[in-house]
């Protein structure tokens, strides 16, 4: 890989996301889709495309431009980025119809399994000179009846104070601001980290070019990513946002829910603290 391909500003983050996705078991699980489902869903997607062409009288130059763009999304490795930004929120919405407890939201393209296991109280791995407001994030994992969930784990990842994710930006150490935090016997956890910056879709890749061409903005509000799990419980994939943060009302990925907005309180020493409890369904 050249440096350009893996630089955080270029489509390199997209290419890394494609590599990462194709090596996860998530993809294996999706192989066996019955033909009736493929027929019904793909037909509906194509019907939607045909309807858009008719409604907007799409021309040959526009069709060819779309074809060139689709090719570039693949070549730039940006399918995970594009699909997670513009499509995943609806898949999550459908799944959420059958899930109780803490609200979930999209996984996004930057999850990396197998991070360092840390015991609560824990500090996420970070650089010695990591910038950003220090944040203490604490709470308890419980079931829907309010009972503590022993053996709970919080798999957490986030951008740094410049909006970059480790594993997808070459200047960051592996595992930076990622960790699997093991809660105590009553599901309680306390995690020290820093407050992330908003995330900007790389403007020089095909996804960013499309966003620019349409006159949209490329921003997600600052967020923490979490997968919260406990033995005997259904895991929840979610994100937590920050009250008053920029782009909260216009997330390009449409993944903000009001229940997921934190309001950390300054502790008088430059550190902020916030409590958030998670509620998991039993299996």
Instruction: Give the residue nearest to ligand MBD (CB).
Output: 108
Looking at the Cβ atoms of 108 and 208, the one nearer to Fe ion is 108
Least distance from ligand MBD to the Cβ atom of residue 252, Å: 8
Of 159 and 272, which has the nearer Cβ to Fe ion?
159
Work out what residue 279 binds among ligand MBD, Fe ion, none; the CB cut-off runs from 5 to 8 Å by kind: none
State the binding partner of 142 from Fe ion, ligand MBD, none, CB within 5 to 8 A by kind: none
Q: What region, left, alpha or beta, does residue 46 occupy, with left being phi > 0 and alpha being psi -120 to 50 degrees? A: alpha
Determine if 108 is a binding residue for Fe ion (CB under 5 A). Answer: yes
Which of Fe ion, ligand MBD, none does 84 bind, CB closer than 5 to 8 A by kind? Answer: ligand MBD
Q: Least distance in Å: CB of 260 to Fe ion? A: 13
Nearest distance from residue 257's CB to ligand MBD, in Å? 13
Beta strand extents in 100-254 (DSSP E only): 117-119, 122-123, 134-143, 153-158, 178-182, 188-194, 199-200, 219-220, 223-229, 236-242
Least distance in angstroms from the C-beta of 175 to ligand MBD: 17
Cβ pair 218, 267 in contact under 8 A? no
Q: Distance between CA atoms of 50 and 42, rounded to whole angstroms?
A: 12
Nearer to ligand MBD by Cβ, of 81 and 262: the residue is 81
For residues 197-236, one letter each, b for 16 or more C-beta atoms within 10 angstroms of the residue's C-beta and e for the rest, the string is bbbbbbeebbbbbbbeeeeeebbbbbbbbbbbbbeebebb
By the criterion CB under 6 A, which residues form the site for ligand MBD? 81, 84-85, 106, 108-110, 199, 220, 253, 255
Task: Give the Å distances, CA to CA, from 73 to 39, 62, 192.
Answer: 25, 16, 37
For the CB of residue 106, give the shortest distance to ligand MBD in the complex, in Å: 5
Summarize as ranges the residues that interact with Fe ion (CB under 5 A).
108
């Amino acid at each position: 890989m050249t440096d350009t391909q893996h630089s955080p500003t270029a489509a390199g983050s997209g290419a890394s996301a494609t590599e990462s996705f194709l090596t996860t078991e998530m993809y294996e699980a999706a192989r066996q889709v019955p033909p009736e489902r493929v027929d019904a869903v793909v037909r509906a997607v194509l019907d939607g495309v045909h309807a858009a062409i008719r409604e907007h009288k799409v021309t040959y130059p526009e069709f060819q431009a779309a074809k060139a763009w689709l090719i570039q999304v693949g070549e730039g490795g940006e399918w995970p980025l594009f699909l997670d930004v513009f499509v995943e929120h609806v898949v999550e919405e459908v799944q959420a119809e059958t899930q109780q407890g803490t609200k979930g939201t999209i996984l996004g393209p930057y999850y990396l399994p197998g991070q360092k296991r840390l015991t609560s109280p824990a500090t996420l791995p970070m650089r010695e000179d990591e910038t950003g407001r220090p944040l203490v994030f604490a709470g308890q994992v419980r079931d829907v009846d309010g009972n503590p969930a022993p053996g709970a784990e919080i798999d957490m990842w986030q951008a740094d104070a410049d909006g970059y994710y480790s594993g997808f930006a070459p200047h960051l150490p592996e595992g930076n601001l990622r960790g699997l935090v093991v809660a105590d016997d009553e599901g309680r956890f306390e995690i020290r980290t820093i407050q992330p910056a908003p995330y900007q879709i790389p403007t020089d890749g095909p996804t960013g070019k499309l966003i620019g061409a349409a006159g949209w903005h490329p921003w997600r509000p600052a967020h923490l990513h979490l997968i919260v799990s406990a033995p005997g419980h259904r895991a929840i994939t979610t994100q937590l946002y920050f009250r008053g943060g920029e782009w909260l009302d216009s997330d390009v990925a449409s993944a903000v829910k009001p229940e997921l907005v934190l309001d950390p309180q300054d502790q008088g020493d430059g550190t902020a603290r916030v409590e958030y409890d998670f509620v998991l369904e039993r299996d």
